[in-house]
Amino acid sequence: MGQKETTILIWASFFAILLMCAGFTLVLVFYRNRKRNFFLEKEMINQQHQQQLLSTQLHTQSQTMQFIGREIHDNVGQKLTLASLYTKQLLNRNNTATDKINTIGNIIDESLADLRQLSKSLTSPALAAAPLAQLLQDEALRINSLGNCLVVVTDNAKDVLLQPAQKNILFRLLQEFIQNSLKHAGCRKINIELSAAANKLIVTAADDGKGFNTANISTGQGLANMQRRAEELNAAFNLQSATEKGTAIIIEMPLNQPDAI
């Protein structure tokens, strides 16, 4: 074999090895891409499954609250109404205990008014129709009319659309915070702000009340309710407070929930 044939053979062998290496590399890259796509698809399916479960849970909770609202109105409300009538009849017949009977009647009437308001809020179609900011502004208007505390709502998330059940849970959570602030913090002002960033709805509520040391916090019913509601929304819940510096909560809820309207 001549030198020319040897050179050709060497180059041919080199290109054959190069083609084999290139082929092996392509196969390896194809395999890795396919494996990566498989895990991505698996993760996407798992996320969709979790979102469907959350959507079902929110829908079920909404139906449950409507059922509770109807039961409050049709059952408990009717019984309290009857008790109020009997108390007033007793008041007309027995003048020796007028003050006590009158007090009992007033308590029943106040309880009945509260239950009617609760029943109305649980079953009201406004929860499905009105944006979260509007629900909060209506609540602020009601509280501000009492003159004890000023509630200010700032909406920087006007383009964010939520499911009715999501709005309801967030609204109840913020109602819980407002009530806790009014009852325990001695606050004069409560600020609530809605904003959106990085595919999240961020809700911040803060009061200017007496606050407390979070190191000594015990999970009371109010805090437990707020944390539970946040978990139902798959939202992060952060509580911040310091003595004489007020209390704040920050809620970060992902917006990639299914069936948002």
Q: What is the DSSP string of 12-47?
A: HHHHHHHHHHHHHHHHHHHHHHHHHHHHHHHHHHHH
d(CA 111, CA 249): 30
pLDDT band at residue 214 under the 50/70/90 scheme: confident
Domains located in the chain, CATH noted: 1-123 (no CATH), 130-261 (3.30.565.10)
Run of H or E including 117: helix 98-123
pLDDT band at residue 259 under the 50/70/90 scheme: very low
Contacts of 165 (CB under 8 A, 6+ apart): 58, 59, 61, 62
Higher pLDDT, 191 or 43: 191
Read off the pLDDT of each residue in 116-134 and give the average, rounded to a whole number.
69
Cβ burial of 118 (10 Å; 0-12, 13-18, 19+) is middle
Half-sphere exposure in the Cβ direction for 89 (13 Å, CA): 6
Higher pLDDT, 108 or 195: 195
3 state SS of 5: helix
CA trace torsion 166, 170, 172, 178 (10° rounding) = -170
pTM, two decimals, is: 0.57
Is the pLDDT at 160 greater than 50? The verdict is yes
